[in-house]
Amino acid sequence: MHRVSLRNLSALVGTAGVILVVAALYLGGHPGAVLAQLGGPCLGIGIIGWCVDAFAVARHRRDLRAFAASTGAVYEDETYRYSGRFSRYPFGLGKALKQRDVLTGHLNEVPWATFTHHFSVGNDLLMELSDEAFQVTLVELPVALPRVEFVPENLATRLARHLGRTDVDVESIEFNRTWRVITEDPRYAHALLTPRMVARLLEADADEVVVRIEGSALLTWQAGRADAATIARRIALLTAVARRIPRYVVQDYRVAHGGFASGWERAIPDTAPPWARMPGILTAGKATGIDPGPPAGYGNQDDESFDIFRMFRA
C-alpha cells in the first residue's frame, strides 16, 4: 500500500514537469513548445506542493518541541532504534527506515514515545520521491506479550494483505462490527478482551484508532503526522488500555518469558551483597530476596484495583 501524500504527489508532478521541460529542449520546434507548456505548470505545481509540505513539516516540528517543553519530554531530530524493534505494518517495509521528530517521556511514571516513522519504496533512483511517513505513539509495557492488533473494520479491509485476516468475535455486537482483532492466538485475544477492555475500546477517543500490542510496547499508528493534541489523546488512550490488561495474562507471560521486559528491570541497590550484584548462573544479577514482587492472592482477576504499571514498580 503506497500512501499518496502531498510530498509524494508533489514529487511526482514536479518530476513529470522536469521530464517534459527536458524533452521540450531536446525536441525544439512545435512539439517542444507544447511539451514546455505542459512541463512548466507541472514543475511549478510540484515546487509549490513541496514548499507547502516543507512548511507543514516545520510547523509539526515546532508543535512537538513546544509539547516536549510543556511535558518535560526529550526531543530528538532523528533515530534508528525503533526500525528493527517492530515487524508489522508500517514497520518491516521499504528501505532507509528511520524515525524523525522523536519524543520520549513519562506520564505518571509510565514511559511513552512518539515519532514519525519513515521508509521509502521503489528502486534507489525513486526512493527519495516515495518517502512514507507514519505517526507512531507507544507506551512501554513491563512485560513482553504476544502480538495482537485491534484495527477499525474499514481500515482492516484496505490493509488485509499487510495485517492478515484472522478475526476474533466477542459477545458485543457493536465491538464485532467496529473492530477486527488480528492475532495468531485467539485464546490469548479472548483473555485480553474482558468486558472492561471491550467497553474501553468502544469509547469515543478510540474511534478509528489502531491499537496494537507487540512485545513490550502498546502502540498506535496513523498515516501522516499527528499534532500534539492528538498525540496526548493517544498516550492517554494507550495507558488506559494497558491498565485493562488482565492480571492473569500479565502473570502467565511474566513467568513464561522470564519476568520483566527490557527497560523495566528494578535496579539492584548498591547495598546488595556482591553475589546479588554480579551476574551468575543462579542469579543472573538479580537479588530475589531483595525484590519479592507482588504478594500472592489477587482476588478477582479483573478488578478495578489492578494496575499493570504499579504491579511492576518497586
DSSP collapsed to 3 states, 226-279: CCHHHHHHHHHHHHHHHCCCCHHHHHHHHHHCCCCCCCCCCCCCCCCCHHHHCC
Identify the bridge partners of residue 145 per DSSP, sorted by sequence position: 215
Question: Exposed, middle or buried by CB within 10 Å (0-12, 13-18, 19+), for 187?
Answer: exposed
Cell of 182: 488480528
Residue 214 pLDDT? 94
d(C-alpha 220, C-alpha 64), whole Å: 17
Residue 307 pLDDT? 76
* 258 touches 93 (CB < 8 A): no
Non-local (6+) Cβ contacts of 273 within 8 A are 287
Q: Does the model's pTM come out above 0.85?
A: no
d(C-alpha 168, C-alpha 166), whole Å: 7
* 139 touches 111 (CB < 8 A): yes
Residue 277 pLDDT? 45
CA–centroid distance for 205 within its chain: 17
d(C-alpha 14, C-alpha 289), whole Å: 66
Label residue 28 left, alpha or beta by phi (over 0 means left) and psi (-120 to 50 means alpha). Answer: left
d(C-alpha 247, C-alpha 307), whole Å: 8
Residue 153 pLDDT? 86
Residue 257 pLDDT? 56
Query: What is the number of residues in the chain?
Result: 314
* CA dist list (Å): 246 to 168, 206, 301: 18, 19, 7
User: Which residues in the chain show pLDDT less than 50?
Assistant: 1-2, 6, 9-10, 13-14, 34-35, 127, 259-260, 262-269, 275-301, 314
Residue 192 pLDDT? 94
CA–centroid distance for 163 within its chain: 14
Residue 119 pLDDT? 86
Residue 237 pLDDT? 95
146 φ, ψ (degrees, to nearest 5): -60, 155
66 φ, ψ (degrees, to nearest 5): -65, -40
153, amino acid identity:
E
Non-local (6+) Cβ contacts of 222 within 8 A are 134, 135, 209, 210
* CA dist list (Å): 85 to 4, 92, 208, 216, 218: 26, 9, 24, 10, 13
Non-local (6+) Cβ contacts of 247 within 8 A are 298, 301, 302, 306, 308, 311
Residue 155 pLDDT? 76
Non-local (6+) Cβ contacts of 311 within 8 A are 142, 247, 250, 294
